[in-house]
């Protein structure tokens, strides 16, 4: 119990932590190991969600406001699961509880449009309220991309990796390495796939998102910088232009696509 | 060695997308930038007219036609580009050879054009995805609309106007992703 208290006390006042502990105890009672799954569902369904509201709503709201959005989402999903499993539909299904109210508050604070009524057939607000944060993360974080002959990966630490065929290096067609690696004289000699390999020059740049066209790649860093590399894709319908004297080096890299 | 190099003119970028000819980025001021070339001069998927003297736009350039809009998502396919604004509107531009623009016409669009068929649904769109010849748009309620050609599952093969992907009815989709000829929903 002491450790629970310490965990919950992180960032909370003593009073809030004590109330949080009460919630933990309540949740543990709710999730006591059941004799069988069906008995558990029946048992949980019989337990009204009021178990969560033995704590004064004002205190509960304060506690919920300290939750990370994903923790809130988990809690809301759990509540949803319990309520949806109820043998008889409850008015609670249509009425956002405290957790969902907090989710809605977060969503609106981020400028997310939240409808005033649930779409027909929907049982819970949870999926609708979660979208703002999820979309923000998803839009910003695309950890993999597939190009014509290569794949890009970003690992948990934000390190850029790529996998390609060894002969893909020649596919640049303009004498430029395609994928950010100089594979040396061995390039082109084999079609063996190269497993995902760290791109050395980017090892100290935290990447959050990658994108790939046919032969070029983009990487977005955590601070909003864009990196590009690969080959230029020449327009097919017109003859290739010869040489561009004086063109800045930066432009050459930025102008691919 | 031509490794990754920073594009110095882009700052505080929130999302990036890349197609065969075109690259795109959206910054934290919700401005859309594109750069790259086009398969054919009249089919630029950049959102603005290309300088006839150049083959391509070498550095990122803002799509001025969207200066009144706040772009929150962008996707680039094979010769076409899709975007979605914070108002939930989806627009497209580029080559419509496979119906991937969603306008129901075979003409190409140089400038961004709102996809009326999606606007008429009355739904608010929150994300777009582009494959090689097809496209997807996701509503805030989790429905998926698809259009274009050569899809992987046949549910909306060669549709020039967006249609609800009925195979996903009843599922609240949170993420759409498309690449090449296949799609992923989650």
How many residues in total does chain B contain?
A: 186
Of the candidates A146, A226, A257, which has its C-beta nearest B37's C-beta? A257
pLDDT at site A34? 44
Residue A212, CA distances (Å) to A81, A235, B121 in order: 39, 18, 32
A224 near B CB under 8 A: yes
d(CA A183, CA A167): 9
Are B36 and A233 in contact (CB < 8 Å)? yes
CA distance B154 to B141: 23
Counting DSSP H helices and E strands in chain B, the numbers are 1, 15
Q: How far is CA A87 from CA A31, A43, A46, A171, in A?
A: 18, 11, 9, 61
Task: Measure the CA–CA gap between B135 and B176, rounded to whole angstroms.
Answer: 10
Q: How far is A42 from chain B (nearest CA, A)?
A: 26
Nearest to A251 among B22, B41, B59 (CB): B59
Tell me if B22 and A138 make a contact (CB, 8 A cut-off). Answer: no
Contacts (Cβ under 8 Å, ≥6 apart) of A23:
A52, A55, A60, A63
The per-residue pLDDT for B179 is: 55
Q: Which long-range contacts (CB under 8 A, 24 or more apart) does B104-109 make?
A: B104/B160, B104/B161, B105/B160, B106/B160, B108/B42, B108/B43
Report CB contact under 8 Å: A213, B21.
yes
Buried b / exposed e over B154-176, threshold 16 CB at 10 Å, is ebbeebbbbebbeebeeebbbbb
Give the pLDDT score at B24: 94
Q: What per-residue confidence (pLDDT) applies to A65?
A: 82
End-to-end CA distance of chain B: 38
Q: What is the pLDDT of residue A94?
A: 43
How far CA A102 is from CA of A95, A98, A105, A179, B93, in Å, comes to 13, 6, 5, 45, 39
Predicted complex ipTM exceeds 0.95: no
Minimal CA separation from A54 to chain B, in Å:
32
Cβ separation A131–B40 shorter than 8 A: no
Consecutive 10-residue runs of chain A (257 residues): their mean pLDDT?
A: 40 58 59 46 47 63 77 68 45 57 77 67 63 60 71 84 62 33 38 67 88 84 88 48 36 39
A107, A136, A255, best to mutate vs chain B, most B CBs in 10 Å: A255
Report the run of H or E that residue B97 belongs to, with start and end. Answer: none
Exposed, middle or buried: residue B69 (CB in 10 Å: 0-12, 13-18, 19+)? buried
Q: B4, exposed or middle or buried, with CB in 10 Å at 0-12, 13-18, 19+?
A: buried
Among the listed residues B167, B166, B178, B132, the one whose alpha carbon sits nearest the alpha carbon of residue B20? B132
Low-confidence ranges of chain B (pLDDT < 50): 1, 151-156, 181-182, 186
Give A140's contacts in chain B (Cβ within 8 Å): 14-15
A138 touches chain B (CB under 8 A): yes
List of residues 6+ apart from B48 with CB closer than 8 A: B34, B61, B63, B64, B65, B110, B111
Average pLDDT, chain B: 81
DSSP B51: P
Would you state the pLDDT for residue B70?
Answer: 93
Q: What are A9-43's pLDDT values in tens digits? A: 344 556 655 665 666 566 555 544 444 444 444 44
List the domain boundaries for chain B: 13-185
Q: How distant is the Cα of A60 from the closest Cα of chain B, in angstroms?
A: 28
Identify the pLDDT of residue A129: 67
* Fold (topology level) of B13-185: Methylamine Dehydrogenase; Chain H (2.130.10)
Nearest chain B residue (CA) to A117: B141
In sign, the C-alpha dihedral spanning B71, B75, B80, B84 is: negative
Would you call A257 an interface residue with chain B, using a CB distance cutoff of 8 Å? yes
CA dist A213 and A234 (Å) reads: 13
- Structure tokens given for A131: 């979208």
Token output for B58:
């070498």
């Amino acid at each position: 119990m002491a450790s629970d208290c310490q965990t919950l006390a992180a960032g909370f006042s003593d009073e809030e932590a004590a109330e949080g502990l009460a919630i933990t105890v309540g949740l543990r009672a709710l999730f006591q190991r059941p004799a069988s799954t069906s008995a558990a569902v029946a048992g949980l369904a019989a337990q009204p969600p009021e178990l969560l509201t033995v704590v004064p709503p004002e205190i509960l709201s304060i506690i919920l406001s300290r939750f990370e959005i994903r923790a809130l989402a988990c809690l809301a999903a759990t509540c949803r699961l319990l309520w949806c499993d109820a043998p008889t539909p409850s008015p609670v299904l249509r009425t956002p509880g405290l957790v969902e109210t907090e989710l809605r508050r977060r969503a609106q604070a981020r400028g997310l449009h939240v409808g005033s009524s649930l779409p027909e057939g929907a049982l819970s607000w949870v999926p609708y309220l979660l979208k703002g944060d999820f979309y923000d993360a998803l839009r910003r974080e695309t950890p993999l991309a597939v190009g014509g002959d290569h794949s890009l990966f970003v690992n948990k630490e934000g390190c850029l990796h790529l996998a390609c065929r060894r002969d893909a290096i020649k596919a640049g067609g303009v004498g430029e390495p395609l994928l950010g690696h100089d594979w040396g004289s061995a390039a082109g000699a084999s079609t063996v796939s190269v497993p995902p390999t760290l791109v050395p020059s980017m090892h100290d740049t935290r990447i959050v998102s990658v994108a790939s066209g046919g032969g070029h790649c983009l990487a977005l860093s955590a601070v909003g910088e864009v990196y590009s590399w690969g080959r230029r894709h020449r327009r097919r319908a017109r003859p290739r232009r010869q040489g561009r004297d004086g063109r800045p080096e930066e432009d050459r890299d930025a102008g691919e696509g | 060695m031509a490794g990754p190099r920073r594009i110095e003119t882009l700052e505080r970028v929130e999302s990036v997308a890349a197609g065969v000819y075109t690259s795109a980025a959206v910054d934290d001021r919700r401005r859309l930038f594109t750069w790259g070339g086009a398969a054919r001069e009249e089919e630029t998927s950049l959102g603005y007219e290309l300088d006839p003297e150049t083959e391509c736009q070498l550095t990122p350039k803002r799509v001025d036609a969207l200066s009144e809009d706040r772009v929150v998502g962008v996707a680039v396919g094979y010769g076409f580009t899709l975007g979605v604004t914070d108002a939930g509107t989806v627009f497209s531009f580029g080559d419509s050879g496979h119906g991937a623009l969603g306008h129901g016409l075979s003409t190409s669009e140089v400038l961004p054009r709102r996809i009326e068929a999606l606007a008429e649904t009355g739904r608010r769109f929150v994300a777009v995805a582009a494959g090689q010849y097809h496209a997807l748009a996701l509503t805030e309620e989790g429905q998926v609309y698809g259009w274009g050609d050569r899809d992987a599952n046949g549910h909306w093969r060669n549709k020039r106007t967006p249609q609800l992907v009925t195979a996903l009815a009843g599922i609240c989709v949170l993420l759409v992703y498309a690449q090449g000829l296949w799609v992923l929903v989650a």
